[in-house]
Amino acid sequence: MPRYHQLKEILRERIRSGEWKPGDLIPSERELSETYRISRMTARQAITDLVNEGVFYREQGRGTFVSRNKITQQLIKLTGFTEDISARGQHPSTQVLSAEMLPADEFTAERLRITPGELIFCLQRLRLADGEPLAIEFSHLSFKGCERLLQENLEQQSLYGVLESKFGLPLMEAEQELEAGLAGAEEAALLKIAPGASVLFTRRTTYTDRNQPIEYAKSVYCGAKYIFYTHLKREQLFSS
Amino acid sequence: MPRYHQLKEILRERIRSGEWKPGDLIPSERELSETYRISRMTARQAITDLVNEGVFYREQGRGTFVSRNKITQQLIKLTGFTEDISARGQHPSTQVLSAEMLPADEFTAERLRITPGELIFCLQRLRLADGEPLAIEFSHLSFKGCERLLQENLEQQSLYGVLESKFGLPLMEAEQELEAGLAGAEEAALLKIAPGASVLFTRRTTYTDRNQPIEYAKSVYCGAKYIFYTHLKREQLFSS
DNA sequence: GAAGGCAAGTGGTCTATACAATATACCAAC
DNA sequence: GTTGGTATATTGTATAGACCACTTGCCTTC
């Protein structure tokens, strides 16, 4: 194991153990290099890595400090409903309202980069958390062999889990838009809320690791029961 | 400007100009160091930075390549209202409803990591796009010298712009939550919408590059006029 | 023709050193 | 007391060189 990697582990362990707390000053690069009998540049490489990971931050002329939080490490997570609700400590369940092959309309076709009229797998599900309706999800999927999804039990299995394990299609990234709105009569009935109650509309295009869109999904979340978290980062690239 | 920074700009420019495309092999570290008359370590630092930013990826024994996914390069943008609305092609304007130093309540103090009762700068603004009310924004700011914000004209200038240019506080990251709701009487009057219309509540904590929270802001967006875009990425790390 | 070895090129790690830019504490001068 | 300089700490930048690990292609050998 390379020395700078060993030093990284030592430094991380000092934070884990509570020896260093957020805001604390850590030993200088020269001091670390003497303590561990390595060159300053090697110690610096370990620290630089941890700065890039958000563990430390440097101040020229003052020293290197433990970051106050780990926000840069908490990347935005692309999860399906199942993982999402589980992470919130609730029990997710699903009712499949419909599952069939239908021709793609023009708007959906554009999102999935296919030609309108092509047959795609359309899935409408009611999503529940601890038995209470939370959202209606309307997914449209298009890929070679997607009709085999008709044979899957999607009430007991995560759609994303099936795509990855049985179809070899890991979903890696998504673009999503959110909009506040009011529940219509049909949505209200399914979600067991009053018509005109607040809801959160989401529209999401999900991609594999090859930038190929696989799914376009529209959802209606019950406004009172769902908070959406996100993490924003300043654009750095193309700084000119 | 440091040499490795100059080289970073040169390399970025070669991508922007189309000379290098995703998947292309770039010159080796030794070759770059000879071309630009710098040491290999300096060239390496420039490349390492760009690898960390997701522009390049390295393969030992083969070389360094331009990353394939442009999606990973389009990081989520942390923008203020002014930039956001301009990017949508509309004309942003602002009315300051109130601006004063007030003691922080317990909840806000926790978000800003200060002690409750400490004086913070509180700013309430009505945000308009093309003259129409779009959102009410209630910002709470805490940093050394924040009372100097009282003297700034915040109707004609972007708050984030002032923080960066006059206070040396570039805002780099933020955590945000979104929730759908219904407009109350007061909000409805300010936004010129009907009480009970759909609105989008956002709560945001904004950090500088040192992971120090500077701002906690609560906003109410008019639901019918605002769509929130985001980009989700699958969690990859924790490889240890 | 196939297999194996060799050489060259690449990124990966590490050292030792030098000077620049910045922050802080202390001290002398006014 | 405030100002301003200075000494000394820090990180930031940059160099030259060394060796390691891995990939590739060529070339020898069988």
**Ordered DSSP codes for A4-19:** HHHHHHHHHHHHHTTS
Are B96 and B136 part of one and the same domain?
Answer: yes
Q: What residues contact residue A153 under an 8 Å CB cut-off, 6+ apart?
A: none
- Tell which of A12, A72, A179 to mutate to test the B interface (max B CBs under 10 Å): A179
pLDDT 10s digits, A147-198: 889 988 888 888 888 887 788 787 767 777 888 999 999 999 999 999 999 9
**List of protein residues whose beta carbon is under 7 A from strand D:** A 28-31, 41, 44, 58-64; B 2-5, 37-42, 45, 59-62
pLDDT 10s digits, A39-51: 999 999 999 988 8
Residues of B in contact with A236 (CB under 8 A): 53, 75
Helix (H) or strand (E) holding A213: strand A213-222
Are A99 and A127 part of one and the same domain?
Answer: yes
Are B105 and B10 part of one and the same domain?
Answer: no
pLDDT at B229: 67
Q: Which one, of B88, B177, B176, B76, lies nearest residue B132 by Cα?
A: B88
Q: Which one, of B108, B122, B136, lies nearest residue B200 by Cα?
A: B136
pLDDT at B87: 61
Indicate whether this model's pTM tops 0.90.
Answer: no
Mean pLDDT of the A223-233 span? 72
Q: What is the domain-level CATH number for residue A170?
A: 3.40.1410.10
Model ipTM over 0.85: no
Q: Which one, of B157, B196, B117, B5, lies nearest residue A181 by Cα?
A: B196
pLDDT band at B124 (very low <50, low <70, confident <90, very high): very high
Look at residue A237 and tell me if it is in a domain: no
Distance in angstroms (rounded) separating the CA atoms of residues B188 and B209? 36
> Which of A57-71, B152-166, B171-185 has the least mean pLDDT?
A57-71
Residue range of the domain that includes A24: 3-66
Are A87 and A189 part of one and the same domain?
Answer: yes
Q: What is the domain-level CATH number for residue B46?
A: 1.10.10.10
B84-CA/D8-C1' distance, Å: 47
> Identity (one letter) of the amino acid at B239?
S
Distance in angstroms (rounded) separating the CA atoms of residues B67 and B21? 9
Are A109 and A7 part of one and the same domain?
Answer: no
Domain count along chain A: 2
Q: What residues contact residue B201 under an 8 Å CB cut-off, 6+ apart?
A: B178, B179, B180, B181, B218, B219, B220, B221
